[in-house]
Structure 1
Amino acid sequence: MFHYIFVISVGYALQRLIRWIAQPRSPLDNIQGPPSPSWLTGHMSQLYETQGWGFQHELRTKYGPVSMLRTLFGQPMLCIYDPAAMNTIVMKDQPNRLPLFEELEWYMNLPLDVFGPGLLSTTGETHRKQRKLLSPVFSTKNLRLVTPVFYDVAHRLTSAISAAVIDDAKTVDVAQYMTRAALELIGQAALGHCFDPLTEEGQHPYAEALKCYIPALTALTRWTPLYRLARPLIPACLRRPIMNLLPSRRVQELLRIVDTMHANAVAIYAEKKVLGESLEKVDEDDATATDLITLLLRANAGVSKEDALPEEELIAQLSILMFAATDTTSNSLTLILDRLAENPHVQDRLRAELAAAKSHLGGDDIPYDELMSLPYLDAVCAETLRVHVPAPLRFREAQADALLPLSKPIRGKDETLMDSIAVPQGTVVFVPIQAANINPEVWGPDAHEWRPERWLEPLPESVAAAKTPGVYSNMMTFWGGRRSCIGFKFAQLEMKVVLAELISTFVFEKTDTPVIWNFAEIVHPTVGADSWHPEYPMKVTLAQETSASDAG
């Protein structure tokens, strides 16, 4: 069987080599870019290097908003974050109303194999139907309804960390607690299901699987080209049996994680389906029917047969929602705590704002509208999501010949000035959204600096003038258009509720343990470069203890 995979992979590689030799010169060849380290893999190994921050920095500072890279077999790949070009990539449709630039097929195959046919792995009419049904679930009305649920989880998280501070001599693995809290937040709000009471040591197997999926996948990055080449040539019914036979500890660990996620998603769906059927005649404002999946199932039952999603797609939405809301939210929270620990004056100012807001409420939880309008809390969250993008990789493929306009002309290798770029059909486009978020031509000369105060000042006129197509605060963190993050307001609320409780209660400080942030589909912290298990130990003390110490 392995010989079979090898033969078809070599055959496919030879076919691509012949096509590469025969292909005409690309109009992208005149664009400046770093030399390719490998004809076979191009720059992909550099893009997916877990400590590839230096390569990202070089692309941004040496080549600017437009550069030319290579993907497998030396094929050209445009790297671009020019605002005008991003507008075309994100927003423009073909005459048939399908996107001019769409997700790469191979890039969607992985979430299709792992989660099923959900928002991350479908296109066209199927994706439109799914998004149409899911969008109302994340309405402001529903976010207000789940806010008390978020606070309940945040209170339990605070109690759990308080106990850990006493038991572990004030050193806490923040990454673990953020993952546990994120899973419980999405579990309670979206599913009405308790995964982790946060009252005892250890994690729910689902939490552990969600937390370890991206690191386990990143550990297999070197095998990505083989997966891309072999998958289309292997019948779907044989893919998993072949994977089961691979003598790799890391592959088998990934399969275990995938199985855990799928089994939990199927079990929860079955539970919610029964509950949803029992609530079909309940008024939509009834509190017993406000978890998001029950609302989704009821909405699905109420639409026409043509617009309704089949069971396989509903399970996929559940699985994707759990993964996306847990992994990105937990790492975003850890990133924010990392920045606050490095900038104690910011942490102190945020704590003072939260204390003032709570004092007007007699110490009660800050309601949804007041919480979302706290200026410094919003500034800290926005600035962290601008400078430190939790999910930094975005690839698209031109579905037809396209012309990308540029906000500012670039000079080609032959010294000619170009104010637009002709992109042939089939060209892969890489949009480095972190570079877009810290573009000095948009955000000013201090764009790369983490400075929450910028959100309390008038932003540069260039920010509005750029017309960045992102759905959130003139940045690309949550992407834009029809493939923007459907739950970005949900994620904002999660982060703000958790921070409101944690920063009011604790002081977070760095320890001497070296923590490394790994570049991946979702960035994550580990202790040391050789580990792939997410971890971030911090010194945590009660805010009252710190205040008393300072007073003394």
Structure 2
Amino acid sequence: MFSLSNPLLLATVLLVGRGLVWIVNLLLISPLFDPLRKLPGEHGPFFLSHVRKVTDPSLSAAQHEEWKRRYGKTFRYHGTGRFDYRLMTFDLRAVSHILMSPVYEKPKITRTFLSTMIGKSVFTTEGSEHTFQRKIIGPAFALHSIKTFTPIFLQTAEELREKWDEMILDGIDTFNVWDWMSRSTFDAFGQACLTYDFRAIHGETEELYLAFRQMIDLADKKGILRVLLPWLDKLWPDEIARSVQRSRQVILETGRRLISEKKASLAEKDVKIEKDLLTMLIQSNLSNDSAKRLSDTDLLDQISSFFVAGSDSTALALSFCLNALAENPDIQTRLRAELTQPSASANFKDKPYDVLDSFPFLDAVVRETLRLFPPVHGTLRVATQDDVIPLSSPVVLTDGTVVPAGEHIRIRKGSIIHIPIEGFNFAKDIWSEDTLEFRPDRWSSLPSTARPPQFPGLGNLMTFSFGPNSCLGSRFTLAEMKAFLYTIIPHYSLSIPEGQRIVKRNGMFTRPVVKGKSHLGVQLPLVVRRIDESSLSL
């Protein structure tokens, strides 16, 4: 006979009982008192999830519009099941409140997952720690810094052009431009962030480059179980976990050496100070109160995060841009004409950033790319306490009650909010009915709904978000994309290989794959042909 006087058995019974109570509360009791339950939204079986409908790029655009048509701008959907109510809103007043308020943070499991790869950076911290890190990092992304980086972007783009010329002479005319954009942005980031030459354009052999590249590639291979239970990698590390750890160790060892060398250079008065991002961060950090400075490891984590998040996202945006130009030869020709006009090279040597920024159609092409192909399709926030969210559009609750514009809806602690970045960029009520078309001319006459203050996103886009967690590297991305397009488009004609269609695949980032060949992985092949130099007006 079993006796509860046995301490071990009693502990087991109590533990199992507590687990059962937790499960019953999670699945049955707690949802009954969730304010989001009263919001309009789809119904279905108990374990029905709508997550695929909002994350699969082949479904999400149509699904967003369908839900808005049926339920209005603010509604709920099921996360892991009917018991998991999640808020989605296209009400800009509500989204502004969520993104600006300290009440809402990135989910802890997401931050923990990212921190295993990039450490404690501005992407993985919240609250006062996040605010302090942005204060240290901010000056390195100011306009004067981006102007300093622009010649680096142009030099790297020229190296890519020389490599492509060699390949074309060898008879190669179809390039996986994703691969080349990935290598090139790594080289550009290496010089701009570290004054470090990865030489990825010339061959993928450098140890630090391979460590970063493997870290990024493995991020997409980490399954949902690793995201939900990141501690599993410490208890039972498999080959993916061990590979991440090996890559991170290479990054840390090389990074510490670079930090030590740059600190030594800063201490020498007669040495020319390099203007790379890491040096700027070190200078910004040293100028702060010694009790509040970031450690060397923290500084290195910031740089790692920019490589993992920044380099790949810019490469993806450039790849999708080149594909869009190949699909729209009239737009490609028009852009080439702007970039090769006689006045295009005036003052370019002295003020390259200003010249790049002076091309209106180039600016429109870049912004339209970032609107139509945001590297991150959406982001999540979680309420850290009970709150009320203001509305600018009415909501009809499931019992027929109308919450008018100017009033609030309630949300409780722990609730998840999905911010549909792609959804806002595709919203027909913001951008017009042709929102899924690549049409750069829309930027010369934006509808009022896509302009501040009605639309508060950075650069009229939700791509970079806004508020305390907005992307610090928005200017960096714009300048780098313009530099590469300025170098590539005048010299090459881009076209789509016969029968090919590129589609999106969402993971940590939105990546391109060839339709019907997704098993081949991330690819974006384009036919690249040299334009006769005599036809250029430069």
TM-score over 0.5 (shorter chain): yes
Alignment-mate amino acid for residue 173 of structure 1? N
Q: 1:150 is paired with a residue of what secondary structure? A: helix
Q: Distance between the aligned counterparts of 1:410 and 1:311, measured in 2?
A: 49
* 2:469 alignment counterpart: 483
Find the aligned partners of 2:472 and 2:323 in 1 and give their Cα distance.
26
Q: 2:265 and 2:217 mapped to 1: Cα distance?
A: 39
Query: Which residue in 2 is equivalent to 1:436?
Result: 424
Superposition deviation, residue 537 in structure 1: 1.2
Cα distance change of structure 1 residues 13 and 269 upon mapping to structure 2, 3 Å threshold: farther
Q: 1:445 to 1:294 in 2, by over 3 A?
A: same
Rounded to whole Å, the distance in 2 between the matches of 1:301 and 1:168 is 53
The reply to whether residue 43 of structure 1 matches residue 42 of structure 2 is no
Distance 1:478 1:287 in 2: 34
TM-score (structure 2 length as normaliser): 0.87
Q: Where does residue 69 of structure 1 map in the other structure?
A: 77
Counterpart code for 2:86: M
**C-alpha contact 1:335 1:384 (8 A) present in aligned 2:** yes
Cα distance in 2 for partners of 1:21, 1:322 equals: 43
Q: How does 1:55-454 map to 2 (within 5 A)?
A: 55-63=60-68, 65-72=73-80, 74-92=83-101, 99-196=102-199, 198-199=201-202, 201-202=203-204, 204=206, 206-207=208-209, 210-211=212-213, 213=215, 216-221=218-223, 224=224, 226-227=225-226, 229-231=228-230, 234=231, 239-244=233-238, 252-253=239-240, 255-257=242-244, 259-282=246-269, 288-356=273-341, 359-361=344-346, 367-419=352-404, 420-454=408-442
CA distance in 2, matches of 1:508, 1:212: 29
- Which position in structure 1 is the counterpart of 2:523? 535
Q: Deviations over 1:15-44 (max 9, x none)?
A: 2443332223322223233345662x8333
Q: Please give the per-residue CA displacement for 1:458-479, whole angstroms capped at 9, x wherever unaligned.
A: x212223663332x22221011
Question: Residues of 1 paired with 2:534 and 2:419: CA distance?
Answer: 44
- For the pair shown, the structure with the greater C-alpha radius of gyration is 2
| Aligned residue number for residue 506 of structure 1 | 492
Counterpart in the other structure of 1:249: none
Q: What pairs up with 1:540-551 in 2 under 5 angstroms?
A: 540-544=528-532
> After superposition, what is the alpha-carbon deviation per residue over 1:337-389, rounded to whole angstroms, capped at 9, x for unaligned?
11101101111111111101665439869711121121000000111111221
How much has 1:312 moved relative to structure 2? 2.4
| Unmatched segments (≥5 aa) in structure 1 | 1-7, 93-98, 245-251
Scaled by the length of structure 1, the TM-score of the pair is 0.85
SS at match of 2:135: helix
Q: For the residues of structure 2 that align with 1:325 and 1:129, how far apart are their CA atoms?
A: 20
Counterpart check, 1:20 vs 2:27: yes
CA spacing shift, 1:44–1:362, aligned 2, 3 Å = closer
The one-letter amino acid paired with 2:428 is P
What is the distance in 2 between the residues matched to 1:479 and 1:426? 22
Task: Give the length in aligned residue pairs.
Answer: 512
**Which SS does the other structure have where 1:538 is aligned?**
strand
Tell me by how many angstroms 1:183 deviates. Answer: 0.3
Q: Residues 426, 363 of structure 1: CA spacing in aligned structure 2 closer, same or farther, 3 A cutoff?
A: closer
Look up the match of 2:10: none
Q: Which residue of 2 aligns with 1:4?
A: none
SS of alignment partner, residue 330 of structure 1: helix
CA deviation after TM superposition for structure 1 residue 317, in Å: 0.7
Partner secondary structure for residue 468 of structure 1: coil
| One-letter amino acid matched to 2:87 | L
Alpha-carbon distance between aligned partners in 1 of 2:504 and 2:22, rounded to the nearest angstrom: 39
Q: What displacement does 1:508 show?
A: 1.1
The answer on whether the counterparts of 1:191 and 1:292 sit within 8 Å (CA) in structure 2 is yes
Aligned to 1:3: none
* Residue 406 (structure 2) pairs with residue 456 (structure 1): no
The residue number in structure 2 matching 1:525 is 512
Deviations 1:87-121 (A, max 9, x none): 101113xxxxxx02111111111111111111111
Instruction: Name the SS for the 1:288 alignment partner.
Output: coil
Q: Are the structure 2 counterparts of residues 67 and 520 from structure 1 closer, same or farther at C-alpha, using a change threshold of 3 Å?
A: farther
SS of the counterpart of 1:120?
Answer: coil
Code of the residue aligned with 1:243 in structure 2: it is P
- Note if contact 1:156-1:197 (Cα within 8 Å) is conserved in structure 2: no
Q: 1:486 and 1:514 mapped to 2: Cα distance?
A: 33
